[in-house]
Amino acid sequence: MKESVMIVDTNGRMIGTMDKMAAHKTGMLHRAFSVFIFNSKGQLLLQQRALNKYHSGGLWTNTCCSHPRLGEMTLTAAHRRLQEEMGMDCELTEMFQFSYRHEFENGLIENEYDHVFMGICDQLPVPEPAEVADFKYVDADQLMFELLERPELYTAWLKICFEQVLNMRYEIF
């Protein structure tokens, strides 16, 4: 089954739909979301993307991310994917949106209007192996250091939005 994404304008308003892979090949701006789960110690739950992902396989990234389905509210999609990828769920709060564009070596382009959600959860994840190779909890300071010293280990979108997530994190603790 082919997946579609919602094509949006620069304000995040839907203006059409497109096959997901076609959107990534042409670089069309589309709706996405990223979920950042912290435990009660303030550590961020990272996942290592499965090696066979269509881009960024094997790289470390935020807890989960994806695209809402047509007609699906973005918050509902964030809960769905948190369950599908990490086998967990918790209360989520949308903190901000941002847009980014990144071209990958394989020719695909991420051009996303990204809704960023955060939550606090001490539930141990049960990752889906087709989506997630590994997971770990990291302290924010350690991740900031790693992003500077070893950026090649992390996804483009994590490097772009983590500092803002870190600043916003204090609003939920």
**pLDDT tens sequence across 105-158:** 888 999 999 999 999 999 999 999 999 999 999 998 899 899 999 999 999 889
Q: In the prediction, which pLDDT does 170 show?
A: 54
Topology adopted by domain 4-172: Nucleoside Triphosphate Pyrophosphohydrolase (3.90.79)
Of residues 64, 85, 110, 112, which has the active-site annotation?
112
Residue 112 is a catalytic residue: yes
> Can you give the pTM of this predicted structure?
0.92
Identify the band that residue 36 occupies on the pLDDT scale cut at 50, 70 and 90: very high
Of residues 65, 85, 121, 161, which has the active-site annotation?
65
Q: In the prediction, which pLDDT does 165 show?
A: 75
Domain assignments of the chain as residue spans, ordered by start: 4-172
Considering only CA atoms, give the Rg of the chain. 15
* Three-state SS annotation for the chain: CCCEEEEECCCCCEEEEEEHHHHHHHCCCEEEEEEEEECCCCCEEEEEECCCCCCCCCCEECCEEECCCCCCCHHHHHHHHHHHHHCCCCCCEEEEEEEEEEECCCCCEEEEEEEEEEEECCCCCCCCCCCEEEEEEECHHHHHHHHHHCHHHECHHHHHHHHHHHHHHCCCC
Residue 121 is a catalytic residue: no
